[in-house]
A and B are shown apart, each in its own frame.
Chain A
Amino acid sequence: MKQIISFPHMANYSIPIKSYIQNILPKAEVLLPPPQSVRALDIGARHSPESVCLPFKYNLGNYIEALDMGANFLMTAGGGCRYGLYGEVHEQILRDLGYEFTFFNLLGDTNKTNVIQVYKNLKAHNPRLSARALAYYSLLAFRTIQFMDEVDVYIRRNIGLEKQKSDFDKTYKQFLNDIQNIKGFRALKKLKRVYTRRLLSIPLDESKDVIKVGLIGELYSLMEPFANLFLERELAKYNISLTRYTNLSYLLTKRRRHIQRYIDGSGGFVKYHLGADGTKSVEKSISMAKNNYAGIIHLKAFGCTPEINAIPSLINVSNQHKIPIMYLSFDTQTSKTGLKTRVEAFADMLQAKQLSASI
């Protein structure tokens, strides 16, 4: 039987990950679940434990939709906070629902993992995979993701300033389309050149008063636009230039190594690491306050323990550095209208503050 591989969505990263899997497991077919939707969340939430965090529910919804479309080989990569146990519970729930499939945890069935183990795990499914090919395609995927993140950062910073509406959106759509066909480093280099030029040539309205706002918090709510109800798009309407540091390249590289740096930079509010991205949230909120950001928005999925841990520190940062922080918590019941009202009020407040400061 032919392997039909599927994995859950996470922002637009499914595009490079899809080509990555196709490269290392060429005999299999990759089937992406339908785009993130209310339906996926509904299905996922129905079969999930009640008080588990939101990403679990989205992932389960994606899996079920993919299985219904004919996928028979599901992938996951565990690690960190609660995510490490997701795989096993997902598998158990899906088997209990009567689905038949192979479940493949990239990090293996135990918690003892390293690069060699990952290679062995993959080799079991593609005996012809050489270590060299794995290294090559891993690096290619990583570089592609890095470039995607760079583009994202630029757009996020400038989309509030575009002269002609949806200039950035159009370019980004084409970019996502082109990135699917990257086969090697040469093509990636060409793509980088083309899109750097195109993005820089989009006219910006420099006369507008920009408000700098930072986004901090839990990674899934930050990275998956559907999970935060397209918060970034909503904010762009108010001439807001956004910064967020959490993206996939950060998770793959800096996350573990920089813990001590984050503790040192947290101005005494954090003595011990808070778990997951909690410490980073505090450190970034301080550095943003020092860099004259007008406000900060803190995002998390309902019940996210590390971010709840960070909130007492963030409240103190907010008081001491006089920077407003808005706390948003997302779960299955969060309504878009409620979010809009809060964002509008927050943006109004920041604009009024800026106006009174300039007088």
Chain B
Amino acid sequence: MKIGIARSFEYYNNSVLWEHFFLSLGAELVVSPLTNSAILKTGVNLSVDEACLPHKIYLGHIAYLKDKCDAVLIPRLESLGKGKSEMLCTKFHANYCATKNTMPDIPLLDYNIDVRNKQTEYKAFMDVGKKVMLFKKLSGSNNNSHNNNAKNSADKKTKRLKQKDIRLAYKNAKAAQQAHNASLTKKTLDLLSGQGKKILIVGHNYITYDNLLGSPITEFLQKNNLTPILANALVTKDTTAKSTELIKTLYWTYSKHIVGVVAAHIKQVDGIILLTAFPCGPDALVNTMLTLKLKDSGIPILNITLDEHLSNTGLLTRLESFVDITL
């Protein structure tokens, strides 16, 4: 089975997990390329005009994967923890339905994480693993449809085995993802304690890591001898717990992650760039709060809102003057 993966949204949280999980179940992966202007253009044409920029890019990636794979993987996320304080933006609630209704002819492979309603990540992956196995079985039986009888008796035995396989695959994949995250955090912490002026880039990882959105900014900073530090790379349990120091009633998990990093590492950086995309719902409130709370900290803050017109000239002028302030 060929599974299509969009290089957007959840890819930046789960790339290692997905790779290990699906490869060990015997599936192939097709990952869409780095975001380029063609993908953006396709996405913009497919989207509702008021949808947020990352979602437009997401649809562009999925449209790219059409006919290149058997199914496109779409995770649907509602809450990543118990209680009311671990919600995600409603964009993630509707990822599956919005895509399905926009492009009904693309087959989708979905899983649903909603911990508040007892649908954990483990359950979700068991679910999606079974679907992959079923697909394999169906496509396998198509090839030799005549000698099925012998297979049926062995089915019950293999069924139990398969469940075990999926569980093991998930466990290993999760461990690999955690190791990957830990090494990334360590590398970034080294950068943070190193020499030179450091700029903390605060934004959702599907914005800061994106080739079209965040990368030009990190590259510009590097060219000017500044060290860009991506807030997403520093997220740990300890930092996330600190988000309440800045915003008490925050309940979007991904926003909590990056706000926590700001709270934990603010003393170690020389400047902050708040990077968001138009019109991001959570960021509109969160970035306002950060700007107001950090007003007296003496650290220069640059607010950048990206939209689909992506004029680099205006952006570069603002970045240049920001660099002048921080140097």
- Residue contact A309 to B93, C-beta cutoff 8 Å: yes
**How far is B155's CA from A203's CA once the two chains are assembled, in angstroms?**
73
- Residue contact A49 to B249, C-beta cutoff 8 Å: no
Q: Bits for B67-80, please: 1 = Cβ < 8 Å to A, else 0.
A: 00000000010100
**How far is B87's CA from A78's CA once the two chains are assembled, in angstroms?**
15
- Residue contact B97 to A272, C-beta cutoff 8 Å: yes
Return chain B residues, CB-CB under 8 Å to A306. Answer: 90, 93-94
Q: How many Å from the CB of B192 to the closest CB on chain A?
A: 28
Other A-B pairs beyond A93-B292, A273-B78, A313-B97, 12, CB < 8 Å: A50-B305, A86-B285, A110-B85, A111-B83, A113-B84, A269-B97, A271-B110, A272-B96, A305-B91, A305-B281, A309-B90, A329-B50
How many contacts between A and B, using CB within 8 angstroms? 129
- Residue contact A111 to B249, C-beta cutoff 8 Å: yes
Chain A residue with minimal CB distance to B283? Answer: A51
Chain A residue with minimal CB distance to B112? Answer: A272
**How far is B268's CA from A303's CA once the two chains are assembled, in angstroms?**
35
Chain A residue with minimal CB distance to B255? Answer: A85
- Residue contact A89 to B289, C-beta cutoff 8 Å: yes
8 contacts between A and B (CB under 8 A): A92-B292, A96-B292, A110-B85, A112-B83, A112-B85, A278-B94, A309-B90, A309-B93
**How far is B280's CA from A276's CA once the two chains are assembled, in angstroms?**
16
Kindly state whether residue A169 has any CB partner on chain B within 8 Å: no
User: Among the listed B90, B94, B248, B282, which residue makes an inter-chain contact with A88, where contact means beta carbons less than 8 Å apart?
Assistant: B248
Kindly state whether residue A312 has any CB partner on chain B within 8 Å: yes
Within residues 88 to 102 of chain A, which ones have a CB less than 8 A from any CB in chain B? 88-89, 92-93, 96
- Residue contact A274 to B284, C-beta cutoff 8 Å: no
Q: How many Å from the CB of B320 to the closest CB on chain A?
A: 23
- Residue contact B292 to A49, C-beta cutoff 8 Å: no
User: Among the listed B84, B280, B288, which residue makes an inter-chain contact with A93, where contact means beta carbons less than 8 Å apart?
Assistant: B288
Most buried by B among A50, A109, A276: A50
**How far is B89's CA from A312's CA once the two chains are assembled, in angstroms?**
18
User: Among the listed B50, B249, B295, which residue makes an inter-chain contact with A109, where contact means beta carbons less than 8 Å apart?
Assistant: B249
Within residues 253 to 293 of chain A, which ones have a CB less than 8 A from any CB in chain B? 269-276, 278
Kindly state whether residue A53 has any CB partner on chain B within 8 Å: yes
User: Among the listed B91, B278, B288, B292, which residue makes an inter-chain contact with A309, where contact means beta carbons less than 8 Å apart?
Assistant: B91
- Residue contact B48 to A85, C-beta cutoff 8 Å: no
Return chain B residues, CB-CB under 8 Å to A96. Answer: 292, 295
- Residue contact B76 to A52, C-beta cutoff 8 Å: no
Kindly state whether residue A11 has any CB partner on chain B within 8 Å: no
Most buried by B among A56, A272, A302: A272
**How far is B281's CA from A86's CA once the two chains are assembled, in angstroms?**
12
Q: A49-B288, A84-B249, A112-B85 are in contact. Are A302 and B93 (CB under 8 A)?
A: no
Kindly state whether residue A151 has any CB partner on chain B within 8 Å: no
Kindly state whether residue A82 has any CB partner on chain B within 8 Å: yes
- Residue contact B89 to A111, C-beta cutoff 8 Å: no
Return chain A residues, CB-CB under 8 Å to B292. Answer: 92-93, 96
Return chain A residues, CB-CB under 8 Å to B15. Answer: none
Within residues 266 to 284 of chain B, which ones have a CB less than 8 A from any CB in chain A? 278-282, 284
Kindly state whether residue A315 has any CB partner on chain B within 8 Å: yes
Return chain B residues, CB-CB under 8 Å to A78. Answer: 249
Q: Bits for A26-59, please: 1 = Cβ < 8 Å to B, else 0.
A: 0000000000000000000000011111001000
Q: Bits for B106-119, please: 1 = Cβ < 8 Å to A, else 0.
A: 00001010000000
Return chain B residues, CB-CB under 8 Å to A273. Answer: 78, 93
Return chain A residues, CB-CB under 8 Å to B102. Answer: 312
- Residue contact A53 to B288, C-beta cutoff 8 Å: no
- Residue contact A85 to B93, C-beta cutoff 8 Å: no
Q: How many Å from the CB of A257 to the closest CB on chain B?
A: 13
Q: Bits for A294-334, please: 1 = Cβ < 8 Å to B, else 0.
A: 00000000110110111111011000000000000100000
Q: A50-B284, A92-B292, A329-B50 are in contact. Are A111 and B97 (CB under 8 A)?
A: no
**How far is B286's CA from A55's CA once the two chains are assembled, in angstroms?**
17
Kindly state whether residue B25 has any CB partner on chain A within 8 Å: no
Within residues 92 to 140 of chain B, which ones have a CB less than 8 A from any CB in chain A? 93-94, 96-98, 100-102, 104, 110, 112
Kindly state whether residue A81 has any CB partner on chain B within 8 Å: yes
Q: A278-B90, A305-B90, A308-B50 are in contact. Are A82 and B97 (CB under 8 A)?
A: no
- Residue contact B287 to A49, C-beta cutoff 8 Å: yes
User: Among the listed B97, B110, B278, which residue makes an inter-chain contact with A274, where contact means beta carbons less than 8 Å apart?
Assistant: B97
Return chain B residues, CB-CB under 8 Å to A310. Answer: 94
Q: How many Å from the CB of B104 to the closest CB on chain A?
A: 8
- Residue contact B94 to A112, C-beta cutoff 8 Å: no
Q: How many Å from the CB of A5 to the closest CB on chain B?
A: 21
